[in-house]
Chains A and B, each alone.
Chain A
Amino acid sequence: MRRARASRQSAGNGNTRTPADPSAGEEWDKHLAGLRRLAGADVKETTVASPLDQFTIKPIVPLSLGKLDISFTNSALMMGIAVALIAGVLVFSVRSRDLVPGRLQSVAELGYEFIAGMVRENVGDEGRKYFPFIFSVFSFVLMGNLLGMLPGAFTFTSHIAVTFAMALTIFVGITLIGLTRHGTHFFSLFFPHGAPIAAAPILIPIEVISYLSRPISLSVRLFANMTVGHIILKIFAGFVVTLGSVQFFILPGILPFGMLIGLTALEFFVAFLQAYIFTILSCIYLNDAIHLH
């Protein structure tokens, strides 16, 4: 906290310092422009790129369906790359069908058995039918998170539109599975087994609200984690430049740079963890719908 505040002050100094002497100011601007060129920012702009710029959706091929704008964007491009990579690894690696797997085939088998085990443990044998879907969800989210870690890449899982659409699809699908399996008996999910009848007026609304909030928590958790992680990475990268550019005093840049390295490792972990949480919660919700607690 203290460090963050100190860094913020230094960053503020770096951004807002306006020397009184005009010649010195000219020199300062030249200096900043050079730094921005180094940092890859647009030289013509006089302001540092916002940490939120990385989330901007940029249309590549403008398209529209009726009044809807369905342009092929950087987000769609990353989704396509993710799908191509997943399919490429999984289909290509097992093409030789080796009895003793190679490196890539091991990865594919490991992923398969990881998700198959997750479905088996959390849903049981009835979950076998939904294994391809759960596997697709996990691999798509994981690949989205990991691709976002590439410098300059776009993270499609950092957008609430994407995570909420996925969570809502899962939620609606699971609710339909529960309804077709159990009919009206499905609604017993909203009343904990063995609770006193008198508690129903309190318990049922709580359970209904908690059930309805599932897609929100599922999508916001993923979107917020990815967004926050990337903002923090961007800010610390900014600190490296602003602190490191203080004349005669380049050392302070090393501190945020070290932090940046640690945060990058943390973000890789978060990328995997959030994909795992998103998937296992889907499994748990599916189990609720199939087995009703």
Chain B
Amino acid sequence: MMILRALLLASAASVCLSIDMAMAADAQKAGMPQFDLTRFPSQIFWLGVAFVVLYLIMSKVALPRIGAVLEARANRIGSDLDRASALTAEADQTRAAYEKTLGESRAKAQDVGRSTEAALAKESAERQAVLGNELAGRIRDAEARIAAAKSAAMANLAGVAADTASLAVERVAGVKVDPAEAADAARVALARA
């Protein structure tokens, strides 16, 4: 790009030269106005005036004002961000508290369940034991009664057997058997059986 500019300038300069040469009447005007030293003081003087005015306006009014606006915005954004992060922290805290409460409640519920279960199990076990004892008592009573009935029946059986045997002997052999002997024999036979 710079080379192109240089070439363009070179061609421009030659054109200027030819035009300037053609302008014989304006020959004294030829040459770049940039190198007219008589115009230097006024340019430098007004440059100084303009630049000092510009610098004073910039440094005293414009730039501090823009800087203040930018700073205010940065502060506002910063405070907004701070508030947002504070709110986030608060929300986190609330959630943590909620979760903690939830966990505690859950644990408590489990405890209640477990203790209830245990109490129920204990109660049913007790009831079962009482019932078992009762049943066992009844069984024992029944067994005792059975045993009594059995022994009574056995005792009667010997009498019945002796009577039967003595009747049978009387009928078959015509012999009267002594009831005591018959009873003894029956007892022996029963005991053997």
Contacts and interface: CB of A to CB of B under 8 A. Distances in A.
Contacts of A112: 63, 66-67, 70
B193 interface: no
Contacts of B30: 50
A65 B48 CA distance: 15
A231 interface: yes
Interface string A75-89: 110011011001100
B98 to A, nearest CB: 37
Nearest to A75: B43
A47 B32 contact: no
B67 to A, nearest CB: 7
Contacts of A166: 47, 51
Interface string A142-168: 000000000000001011111001100
Contacts of B48: 165
A285 interface: no
A15 interface: yes
B43 A159 contact: yes
Nearest to A133: B55
A47 B40 contact: no
A57 B9 contact: no
Given A8-B14, A112-B63, A158-B34, A47 B19 contact: yes
A223 B70 contact: no
Interface of A: 1, 4-5, 7-8, 11-12, 15-16, 47-48, 50-52, 55-57, 59, 63, 65, 68-73, 75-76, 79-80, 82-83, 86-87, 90-91, 94, 97-99, 101, 105, 108-109, 112-113, 131-133, 135-136, 139-140, 156, 158-162, 165-166, 223, 227-229, 231-232, 235
8 contacts: A86-B57, A91-B65, A98-B69, A99-B72, A108-B62, A227-B34, A228-B12, A231-B12
